[in-house]
Amino acid sequence: MKYYILAGEASGDLHGSNLMKALQNVDVNADFRFWGGDLMQAVGGTLVKHYKERAFMGFAEVVLNISKIFKAIAFCKTDIAEYNPDVVIFIDNSGFNLRIARWAKQHHFKTTYYISPQVWASRASRVKAIKHDIDHMYVILPFVKDFYKTYDYDVTYVGHPLIDAIANRKQISEYEFRTQNELSDKPIIALLPGSRKQEISAMLTIMLSVVDQYPNYQFVIAGAPSQDYSFYKPFIKNANIHFVANKTYDLLSVSYAALVTSGTATLETALFKVPQVVCYKASWISYQIGKRIITLKYISLVNLIMNKPIVKELIQDEFNSSNLKKELDLILDDYERTKFFINYYDLEKKLGGKGASQKTAEYIFNSLKP
């Protein structure tokens, strides 16, 4: 079978690569053409465009780059038509993917969505288009299946692929990790500031403002695969700040606590059982627009899945040095840490077990059989 896959950002690349591996397990003739990243490219097939080429953050940045986005959409349609796949698979990245999905359905291509757009967070009106344009939807969060049910749209819950990604990673000993990255024996506080330059700058400036108040810990920045070390270098201003590139899981596996930008990383941190403070700060205009259309009580996946405040969320003006120190002190406290571990255990049970990628691959392949 021929699979055309559309993924954006680092998380989409991760989940896309695992889905591709799973598809290869069920379809020995699987042929891939895709928009994604290095992880998907390592599996095989043809990388059409790297997600780095279209990593626009916030409403303002999207508007400024609107001509590039429309050109990419037009090119994508032409490329799909020329490849003529058996199915087009969309992974998250709703702004781009839903436009392609509408065109693909009109041109009689089979359409599958893996990892739902966040219509459960804002602009639920998009569900009507999804029901019309997507033949099959596979969701990775239990509350999302319930959300779609209220719109009379039957989707399939497959579990969360992060469980597989973490379980199947090549592990490294703590001693080896510290040695390779020139880290001391001090407890590690991991900093996960996101993946886009604008986002990283906003997050790191405040995250690093508390470093001098914790001389008995070392702070380690998790470098995103989409950025080079040269971008991070100006932030590393003293010996207590370190940097590791493309080793977020290894870093979390040895971390004592973490400061995490809202997104998939909050769930990854929880699955590694690391107490965390969730942080988020956007441009003023993006925040003003966002708070008017987002209807959720929480912004972190951890709190959303559990439907209660498991982790502290510092959003916009609340994300400042004073509040960050207060919350960091709490997650370094032994009593508070015990609560985290209990809640994280319950979270993992709620997500279900392993096999999300394999289940999805089997569903997709079977749906294509005559």
Q: What is the pLDDT of residue 362?
A: 97
pLDDT of residue 363: 97
Query: For 147-176, how does the pLDDT look when each residue is reduced to its tens digit (9 = 90+)?
Result: 999 999 999 999 999 998 898 888 999 999
**Per-residue pLDDT, 55:** 56
CB 112 within 8 Å of CB 135: yes
pLDDT at 345: 93
**CATH class of segment(s) 167-351:** alpha beta
What superfamily in CATH does domain 2-159+355-368 come from?
Glycogen Phosphorylase B; (3.40.50.2000)
The yes-or-no answer to whether 2-159+355-368 and 167-351 have a common fold is yes
- Cα distance between residue 98 and residue 90, in whole Å: 8
Q: Specify whether the CB–CB gap between 307 and 143 falls below 8 A.
A: yes
Q: Which residues of the chain have pLDDT under 50?
A: 56-60, 287
pLDDT tens string 207-244:
999 999 999 999 999 998 878 999 999 999 998 999 99
Q: What is the pLDDT of residue 49?
A: 93
Helix axes 334-351, 264-271, angle to 10 degrees: 110
Taking a C-beta distance cutoff of 8 angstroms, is the pair 161, 169 a contact?
no
CB-CB neighbours of 292 under 10 Å:
9
**Contact (Cβ atoms closer than 8 angstroms) between residue 62 and residue 69:** yes
The pLDDT score that the predictor gives to residue 63 is 58
How many other CB atoms are there within 10 angstroms of residue 322's CB atom? 10
Residue type, 228: D
Write the CB contacts of 53 (distance below 8 Å, at least 6 apart in sequence).
72
Q: Where are the domains of the chain?
A: 2-159+355-368, 167-351
What pLDDT score does 195 carry? 85
By the 8 A CB rule, do 89 and 32 touch? no
Q: Are 260 and 279 in contact (CB under 8 A)?
A: yes
Largest CA distance in the chain: 64
